[in-house]
Structure 1
Amino acid sequence: MSIPARVAIVGGAGKVGRRLIPILLHRDHEVVALARTDEQLHELAGLGAAARHLDIEACDEPEFASAFGGCDAVVFTAGGGPDGNANRKRTVDLEGSLKSIAGAKRRGIKRFVQVSAMGVDAEPDPARGDVWTAYVYAKREADFALRGSGLAWTILRPGILVDSVGTGCISIDEKVVPGPIPRVDVAQTIASCLSRPRTAGHQWEIVTGPHPIGTVLDELTVA
């Protein structure tokens, strides 16, 4: 499997997506950033991406496939956000992922990196409310679907996302001790996975830690 030249970002206007764009551009990828509003598209174009319209909730599978035209990989980093709307956890976090998977398959795109969340295989704590429960189930089902998709997938499950300065160092494994991680380090990990075909077929939890991102990914995927 070759390293993708052009990468589509579903959720391009999100906090991880915006950080991912300049990292990919710096690594000589072309970036297609997908977003819903004209204002978002204008901002993403200003970051150097080819900005294309995609309304995750309103668009269907053929429209997703159309948005992925010319791309070699898809990154799904969209989320319904902390809006208190349980239904949007399904329509964005789950159905958006499912339509992205289907769109990639229609386009013949094999490489797919998905940002999920730590701990979603455990049963959600009812005390955290219906929105949290919906979020956990949506992420869990999206990951299950991607693992069975036949695509060359990587699933990253970060801990608590923060906006602090990145360290470039992480702890990453199938299970790690819960903790925070800057969004920019999640973006760096996505980019580093895209440049390492051997990361396909792996699902990892990630938090801030002692290991340089590239070094630890190479160690995890050594033949």
Structure 2
Amino acid sequence: MKTLVIGANGQIGRQFCEIAHRNGLPLRAMIRHPNQQSWFHERGIETVIADLEGDLHQAFNGCDQAVFTAGSGPHTGPDKTLLVDLYGAIRCIDLAVNASLERFLMVSALRASDPLSAPEKLRPYMAAKFAADAYLRAARIPHVILKPGRLTDETPTRLVSTSLAHAPDNTVSRGNVAYALAHLAQTRTLKNREFDLLDGESNVAMALV
């Protein structure tokens, strides 16, 4: 069976796909455009063309878990935040339930639990994540919610923390998020769990238990 990667062409999505594929996890990368296929095909990763704002039910066929790491991006407005980060996530959760997938892994955000504490321009995104997380918790599917802090492009260390009290600040590299997500995707016994994620000093496998 395969893991469906929703948002596979994003900055975290690509790194996750490369790490998980290297670790032997069968993947199906969901992408929006055929011109995005070559990067994945060069690495031997299966792709499916589907759109969070359009038809996507066929992407779930033959998969047993889904990873949602999609996002509308920093250069879009609240309209895309609603359609992608909120409604897109809700549609994917419903499709995963209907397809009887075993787990749904959600990449959320550290401040999603308190959107008004985020910088003003990020509050619509955090509110969308807050609602999508709540919908997933109430859905009839086992899940894991990963809540990274402020994302950076620093070189991944594979050393993380799940508590701000044991982290140097509220940041985490996208690479460390990808390594954490790969660990979670392969640890099938983790269900109905939530993890904050920051750069830290603990090995990913030791931190996410």
The answer to whether the superposition gives a TM-score over 0.5 is: yes
Aligned position for 2:87: 95
Aligned position for 1:196: 187
Q: Does structure 1 retain, via aligned residues, the 8 Å contact 2:163–2:198?
A: no
Pairing 1:139–2:129 present: yes
Q: TM-score, normalised by structure 1?
A: 0.87
Q: Pick from 141, 153, 163 the counterpart of residue 153 of structure 2.
A: 163
The percentage of aligned residue pairs carrying the same residue is: 26
C-alpha deviation, 1:58, in angstroms: 2.0
Structure 1 alignment gaps of length 5 or more: 219-223
Deviations, residues 84-124 of structure 1 (Å, cap 9, x unaligned): 41111110101111111111112110211000011122142
Deviations, residues 134-153 of structure 1 (Å, cap 9, x unaligned): 21110000000111112110
Measure the CA separation in 1 of the matches of 2:133 and 2:88: 12
Q: Pick from 100, 109, 118 the counterpart of residue 101 of structure 2.
A: 109
Counterparts of 1:16-165 in structure 2, within 5 Å, are: 16-59=12-55, 63-64=56-57, 66-124=58-116, 128-129=120-121, 132-165=122-155
C-alpha deviation, 1:133, in angstroms: 2.4
| Amino acid across the alignment from 1:193 | L
C-alpha deviation, 1:10, in angstroms: 0.4
C-alpha deviation, 1:27, in angstroms: 1.7
User: How big is the alpha-carbon RMSD for the aligned residues of Structure 1 and Structure 2?
Assistant: 1.9
Measure the CA separation in 2 of the matches of 1:200 and 1:116: 16
| Most deviating of 184-193 and 138-147 | 184-193
Structure 2 alignment gaps of length 5 or more: none
Aligned position for 2:200: 209
Structure 1 163/48 Cα, relative in aligned 2: closer, same or farther at 3 Å?
farther
Structure 1 123/55 Cα, relative in aligned 2: closer, same or farther at 3 Å?
closer
